[in-house]
Structure 1
Amino acid sequence: MILLDMTVVNVALPRIQDGLRFSDSGLTWVVNAYVLAAGGLLILGGRLADVFGRRRLLLTGVVIFAVSSAVCGAATSPAMMVAGRFGQGVAEAIAAPASLGLIALLFTDPKERTKALGIWSGLVALGGTSGYVISGLLTDLTSWRWIFFINLPVAVVVLLIMPRLVRESRMVRAKNAGLDLPGAITLTVGLVAIVYGLLQAAEHPWRSAPVLIPLVAGVCLLAGMLVIERRAKDPLIPLGFFANRTRTVVNATSLFFMAAFISYTFMLTLFEQHVLGYTPLVSGLAWLPLSVAIGAGIGLGATLTPRLGVKVVTSAGFVGAGFGLLLTSMIDTDTSYPGGILPGMIVFGLFAGATMPAATTAALHGVTVQDSSLASGVQNTMQQVGGALGLAVLVTLALRYSGDEIQRGVDPQVAMTEGYALALRVGAALMVFGGLLVMVLFERVDPELRDPTAEIVGETGAGRSWPSSARPRGRNLAGA
């Protein structure tokens, strides 16, 4: 539900613009407000879940998301819509790390955990891609407002069922230990500044003040955060967290993966509607094969990861997804859906899906229960920043190339198609490069979370130490 709303607005943007009288530049903030809030707050959300309770933070995030969705659906002005979208991004930052942290704790068997993480990753990906389908259907058949209102019954069901199925857990903290507020503020503002700068790059030159000032400020703030964390008694992010080479590499390559993934879906939607003349409904339905391919790839990846290892499956997934993008880059103005779009979509979806359970396992490699939500917050932050990077770099590359070609007298539709194809080839190169980094730099990854002496803390706050073989499971979920 949460990740669906990152993409569900894309097909409906023209209707939202007409209904609320957005300006062309203001309309981008329907997307940017969500990405900005989520990208800047995810790591903080992950640490808050570890400290104050993962179930509590997940339920809180769902409540905020439901309220924000209602605000978006009832919006009567651009400001009201942007505020609601910002609230949805905040909700993702709170709920997403907590949900992945809980899954890592509920499934203690390595094979079960790999499957569970694969399902979690797959639902995230399917939520993102199905957003186009749902948006097309609801926008054409009812109103764009229902792409937000549809979240409300889902949120109610989660709030009613989850407390019955999932027990609370949080990290054990020393007495009088406080949350590292200087580190939290510096990290959050730094990430927000970087994401804002990347988003501004979609509209302004890279050397312009609106881009450079927030990027430089963000980098300086993150550097200051490292100094603060080194001296903090109870740091927000222990610097030793980044000492694990596999975790560091998979988080870095997540930038390439999401930059290519988000720009692929964004540009192909524009190509289908602006060049091939698809309606929002047809454009939405055209994404169904990608959802099916991702689902099949997740099943394949979850099966192969315990046999071949995280390194092999992740690397092969990156390279195969890059090949799918390369196939898609062969598009032209006369491209047919079955012959020009569908083959690359299936290859891309299958290999991208296979990557997800293995990459998520790698992101949690060597993480203890104490830091499980923090690790998922770091991974999700890199994905959000990667998505912003894709919109800022790859989509901007396509649009500026097209503009230059049009100024030279090239037919606008031909120029747009060539711009999209160029950006897709760059995305393919990023995917292949990420796969090579994984193959060269990954350590040998055991799919089991290494937490043999971690403590589980209930709602009362009383902690008990459990060996991994005897740790209580969330019975209803783990047995499913």
Structure 2
Amino acid sequence: MTTLNTSAPGNVTEADPRRWWVLALLSGLAFMILLDMTVVNVALPLIQDGLGFSDSGLTWVVNGYVLAAGGLLLLGGRLADVYGRRRLLLIGVVVFAVSSIVCGAAVSQGMMIGGRFAQGAAEAISAPASLGLIALLFTDPKERTKALGIWGGLVALGGTLGYVISGVLTDLTSWRWIFFINVPIALAVLLVLPRLVTESKMVREQGHRLDVAGAVTSTGGLVAIVYGLLQVAENAWDSAAVLVPLIGGVVLLLSMIVIERRARNPLIPLTFFANRTRSVINLTSLFFMAAFISYTFMLTLFEQHVLGYSPLQSGLAYLPLGFAIGAGIGLGTVLTPRLGVKLVAGGGFAGAGVGLILTSMVDVDASYLGGILPGMIVFGVFAGATMPAATNAALHGVTVQDSSLASGVQSTMQQIGGALGLAVLIPLAIRYTTEEVARGVAVEAAVTSGYVLAFRIGAGMMILGGVLILALFERVDPELRDPTAEIVGGTR
């Protein structure tokens, strides 16, 4: 069987219909990985009872994944570029499958937390390689926009359907199956991908060495910052538990900048950030994911703690969000070539902010149809519309050898954004609730007011992101092809 050649763009890959099968396979893998980020949320109480976690210990079932994924994504992107995207992708899939089995079979807290750390590391290894392969398989700008829209759509659906699948599995079977369901998808990727895709990596010069010092300082700095942000949920901002890792992370990242300026073969060439479009979309990805992750997290708590939904009801309540995101992605995929990345991404951010404002109008007597659903639909459609445009912008002007690095940077910013949203908005909601209760407000009303405050802050972050995109994005015609065929991605 012949394989698709991904060693360079502009080859037979462009006309080979099997590239769509590869896209389906990679999209399914991305769906599975992001699904596992959110699928545990509804099942956390059952995991706590089954393994005897304390309230504080239970947070590590989520935090372990975020720490490993957020801290190692940049390194994973560069390893894929240097040592081969297919190789790193397959390694990541193996690690993810094994760690999923470990989590599903966990009989102790340490076994569960270790498995979650390993799952996060597997995402850091495989996600940048996966997106890098997509960028190389689809070299035509219109086709790439469509392919990235499909990929981003399944990723987004994985994030939202995690709540639905978790509710169904935990009600009908056991929480252990939220991890075991990953294994068949991983096996399919391992069996099929090597038959369809050749190896793809940058050409290494004689004596080329990976920038180990840059890898250590960047990874250590990101892990420390993510860890510090997560500590805010249980500690004050001026506590040692928060300040020490945050300051340490900043020092490590500043050290990385010095190292990268002097390195012969830097892990992250500083010129990578010279492109204004890429820099702005990575910055605004922080706002997007902070608002998105905290929205789904807090809405789940509101439904179960205030409105009295069961886990299954809460999970099924997210189905319209998944459909809305899918519709938005389709709309964004169609509009991006016509209107350009700037208008689609900027308008999508602002529209998603409006959806959060609508959501912030809920109260203790809110109905699903009149209180939750309108904001959910608006938020989902506009958030989905941004996804193909944002992914295209993240790859704008990127050379072939840096394609996985570019996707790693974007994924890292998304992970950091999600951690930021949970670490900052949730404590704000809790503290506001406490103040309201102290003033004599009923507990359910006070809890709802805390969520409302957080929804509105998230809306402000989304709208700010849209303003930055509209003001700072470059304008590049997506129909123009770079004559050297060494650039992936084009935006307008």
Q: Same fold (TM over 0.5)?
A: yes
Q: Distance in 2 between matches of 1:375 and 1:449?
A: 21
User: Which of 439, 442, 445 matches 2:473?
Assistant: 442
Q: Distance in 2 between matches of 1:19 and 1:452?
A: 59
**Any unmatched runs of 5+ in structure 2?**
1-31
Match of 1:293 in 2: 324
2:214 is the alignment partner of 1:191: no
**Structure-1-length-normalised TM-score:** 0.94
**Any unmatched runs of 5+ in structure 1?**
456-466, 469-480
User: Which of 41, 44, 54 matches 1:13?
Assistant: 44
After superposition, the Cα gap between the structure-2 partners of 1:197 and 1:167, relative to the gap in structure 1 and judged at 3 Å, is same
Percent identical residues: 77
Match of 2:260 in 1: 229
* Preserved contact between residue 11 and residue 136 of structure 1 (Cα < 8 Å): yes
Q: Distance in 2 between matches of 1:86 and 1:422?
A: 32
Deviation string 1:183-203 (CA, Å, 9 cap, x unpaired) is 100110000000000000111
User: Which of 461, 469, 473 matches 1:430?
Assistant: 461
Q: How many residues align?
A: 457
Report 1:214-253 matches (<5 A). 214-253=245-284
SS of residue matched to 1:386? helix
Deviation string 1:265-298 (CA, Å, 9 cap, x unpaired) is 0000000000001000010000000000000000
Match of 1:464 in 2: none
SS of residue matched to 2:329? helix
Match of 1:309 in 2: 340
| Amino acid aligned to 1:252 | L
Match of 2:387 in 1: 356
SS of residue matched to 1:206? coil
User: Which of 173, 177, 180 matches 1:142?
Assistant: 173
Match of 1:337 in 2: 368
User: Which of 290, 298, 301 matches 1:259?
Assistant: 290
Offset at residue 121 of structure 1 (A): 1.2
Deviation string 1:113-149 (CA, Å, 9 cap, x unpaired) is 0011111111111111110000000001100000001
| Amino acid aligned to 1:70 | I
* Preserved contact between residue 365 and residue 446 of structure 1 (Cα < 8 Å): no
Offset at residue 372 of structure 1 (A): 0.2
User: Which of 53, 56, 69 matches 2:84?
Assistant: 53
SS of residue matched to 1:175? coil
SS of residue matched to 1:28? helix
Offset at residue 449 of structure 1 (A): 9.4
Q: Distance in 2 between matches of 1:451 and 1:198?
A: 41
* Preserved contact between residue 323 and residue 347 of structure 1 (Cα < 8 Å): yes
2:190 is the alignment partner of 1:159: yes
Q: Distance in 1 between matches of 2:482 and 2:118?
A: 34
Deviation string 1:224-273 (CA, Å, 9 cap, x unpaired) is 00000000011001110000000000000000000000000000000000
Report 1:84-103 matches (<5 A). 84-103=115-134
Structure 1 residue ranges (4+ consecutive) displaced by more than 3 angstroms after TM superposition = 445-455
Q: Distance in 1 between matches of 2:480 and 2:359?
A: 37
Match of 1:471 in 2: none
2:203 is the alignment partner of 1:172: yes
| Amino acid aligned to 2:390 | A
2:434 is the alignment partner of 1:403: yes
User: Which of 78, 87, 92 matches 2:109?
Assistant: 78
| Larger deviation, residues 443-452 vs 215-224 | 443-452
| Amino acid aligned to 2:253 | L
Offset at residue 407 of structure 1 (A): 2.5
User: Which of 26, 29, 38 matches 2:60?
Assistant: 29
Match of 1:383 in 2: 414
Q: Distance in 1 between matches of 2:420 and 2:183?
A: 31
* Preserved contact between residue 133 and residue 285 of structure 1 (Cα < 8 Å): yes
RMSD: 1.3
Q: Distance in 2 between matches of 1:213 and 1:121?
A: 36
Q: Distance in 1 between matches of 2:480 and 2:278?
A: 13
2:355 is the alignment partner of 1:324: yes
